[in-house]
Structure 1
Amino acid sequence: MKKILIIQVILFCNLFALTISQNVVKNANTVLLEIQKENISNVKLTFHTQNIDFFKNKFKKNTYSALLPISYYQKKDNYRVIISYLENNKKVFKGLNLKVVDGKYKSEVINVSKKKLKPNPSRVARTKKEYAEAIKIYKSKTNKILWDEEFIYPLNSKITSNFGTKRVYNGMLKSYHSGTDFRAKNGTPIIASNSGIVKIAQNRFYSGNSIVIDHGFGVYSCYFHLSLMNYKVGDFIKKGEILGLSGSTGRVTGPHLHFSFRINGIQVDPLNAIEVLNSLKKQ
């Protein structure tokens, strides 16, 4: 797993440092920003349409951290990230440059009859309801870190489909692969990437039996197509515990684990997210 490079961009002698994990970022990746300073409050950032609160990093003294997820569909361009905080009852502003570049994800070109692209009315209501319920959860935030150790992969097996692969139907981008698929025959134990609270434990049309874990501060890990779920909504699960067994439930062609991440409501590359999250603990 490659290391996240922390770039220090501002440093003052009065114990103030503002750092950013990278100032050139691929779409669907996550950026970590940190401020090390005493006696400040209400630390926030603004990027494009996102407004994100920093959180007190329990792993580092006098440090506030923020996770900035970049959408898969974010325009490739140069941006300005604005950071603000209160100090001595005065609002202070700082700015950083951030360039979003193309992640160069692979494409799958599929040519099918237009009739096959037409939605089936019988399942539209169900999928819309399930999507709305999930998005409401992903956009909510538990305002504390629920984990103490580094994130891990949910199983040790071959990756069969990478995150971000474009699905181009009849020359038009219709979707992309929203997670990382791991090879897993039916009944393979799947473990929690880290500790948190189960927010979804439900059979859904596309993702089948699904477990979603809230790790705190807008971070969610997702485990889809399970044959068995060992936890219910509201349960606290610890890192490494078996949350269920792999399967082929939902809209799939065979058994595997679909593993994905949401940060502040935005779908991101889960393997990159794990690298960034684990850097929260590194000095």
Structure 2
Amino acid sequence: MRYLIFFILFASTLFSLHIEMSQKSVANGKTALLEFEKKDGILYEKLILDKKEYKVYEHPLDAKKYYALIPISYYEKPSKKTIKLLYKQDAKEMSKTVALEVKDGFYKKETLKVQQSKVTLSQKDKKRAEKEYVEAMKVYNTSTPKSYITSEFIAPMQSKITSEFGKARIYNDTLKGYHSGTDYRASVGTPIVASNDGVVALVKDRFYSGGSVIIDHGHGIYTCYFHMSKFDVKRGQEVKRGETIGLSGKSGRVTGPHLHFSARVASEQVDPLQLIELLNKNLF
């Protein structure tokens, strides 16, 4: 059974444009999914929300549909939004709108104690972290036209979740943002598997996230695996769902060994487990 489907019918002299929306409202840090029927003479171009543009892609598994993902920033406040769909009908520019409500995710707070050098950075470490951030955002801002997804997403390991996405994080009594992923309990050396098919976009030891692997699943969807102790893949390598990509560790800014699993959609950081559930229930 899919999520609650929101049906909107737009009247037209020639046809009825049918849009399926995964939900009427979505919390900050979560993702919404829209689907469009493929029709002769209709060319879907893009969606616009708050001046940001989002691409419309061919459905990875249903040749009769297109789809689009709308990631909502963690920092977005509760509000009523309007998503504008731009499309062409027989070469004529057209547009329609869809209402979306952003609600509060009510995320909890979490206090952590780490090495002070990981909170108050030296100039050298600061430059390194900034360089790595720019490098990663270059990856996330790349939207591969091809989708590598052919089956449902899976968890990167079967283990207890020790920290959920979205918790406001206080390092050494100083607020330093929020938890951008989901943490799994994992002693050093626990195998980590790819959540789905894709291409490895980055393999690197980084200041904050330690041993890092980022997988491009196509269509602007990325999954990330941090604090690893060993890599079993290389950049540019194609991987399959369930394939071991390396071992867990305690590298980077951590309080102990674990796997930090996160996701990006259209470069926006989103709740990885909600994204996986959304895609699995709506695309398969």
Tell me the equivalent position of 1:123: 125
* Deviations 1:235-265, CA, capped at 9 Å, x for gaps: 0000000000111111112110000000000
- Unpaired segments ≥5 residues, structure 1: none
Most deviating of 204-213 and 16-25: 16-25
CA deviation map 1:194-253 (0-9, x unaligned)? 000001111001111111000000000000011110001000000000000111111112
Residue 108 of structure 1 and its aligned partner are, at CA, apart by 2.6
Q: Percent identity?
A: 45
Alpha-carbon separation, structure 1, partners of 2:85 and 2:127: 41
Paired with 1:170 and 1:102, the residues of 2 have a C-alpha distance of: 26
Shift of 1:72: 0.2
CA deviation string 1:57-79 (max 9, x = no partner) = 13223211001000001122111
Query: Within the alignment, does 1:235 sit opposite 2:237 as a pair?
Result: yes
Of 42-51 and 219-228, more deviation after overlay is shown by: 42-51
TM-score (norm 1): 0.92
SS of corresponding position for 2:155: coil
Distance 1:184 1:160 in 2: 10
Give 1:99's match in structure 2, choosing from 101, 113, 117: 101
The match for 1:214 among 213, 216, 222 is 216
Tell me, yes or no, if the aligned pair for 1:198 and 1:236 is still in contact at 8 Å.
Answer: yes
How many residues are paired up?
280
- Note if contact 1:43-1:64 (Cα within 8 Å) is conserved in structure 2: no
Q: CA deviation at 1:109?
A: 5.4
Aligned pairs for 1:20-31 (under 5 A) are 20-31=21-32
Shift of 1:28: 0.5
Which range moves more in the overlay, 273-282 or 246-255? 273-282
Mapped to 2, the partners of 1:111 and 1:235 lie a distance apart of 36
Q: How is 1:1-283 mapped onto 2 (pairs within 5 angstroms)? A: 4-10=3-9, 14=15, 16-39=17-40, 40-108=42-110, 118-168=120-170, 173-282=175-284
Structure 2 Cα separation of the partners of residues 116 and 207 of structure 1 = 11
CA contact under 8 A between 2:60 and 2:149: conserved in structure 1?
Answer: no
Q: C-alpha deviations, 1:17-45, integer Å up to 9, x for none? A: 11111121100000001111312214210
Distance (whole Å) between structure 1 residues aligned to residue 169 and residue 52 of structure 2: 27
Unaligned runs of 5+ in 2: none
Q: Distance in 1 between matches of 2:270 and 2:19?
A: 24
Say if 1:196 and 1:181 are closer, same or farther in 2 by CA, change over 3 A.
Answer: same
Q: Quick one: structure 1 residues 186 and 56, their matched pair in 2 at CA, closer, same or farther if it must change by over 3 Å?
A: same
Cα distance, 1:85 vs structure 2 = 0.7
* Secondary structure class of the residue paired with 1:82: strand
SS at 1:66 equivalent: strand
> Is the alpha carbon distance of 1:226 and 1:151 closer, same or farther for their aligned partners in structure 2, counting shifts above 3 Å?
same
Hey, what's the Cα distance between the residues in 2 that align with 1:230 and 1:193?
15
Structure 1 vs Structure 2 CA RMSD? 2.4
Alpha-carbon contact 1:4-1:275 (below 8 Å) kept: no
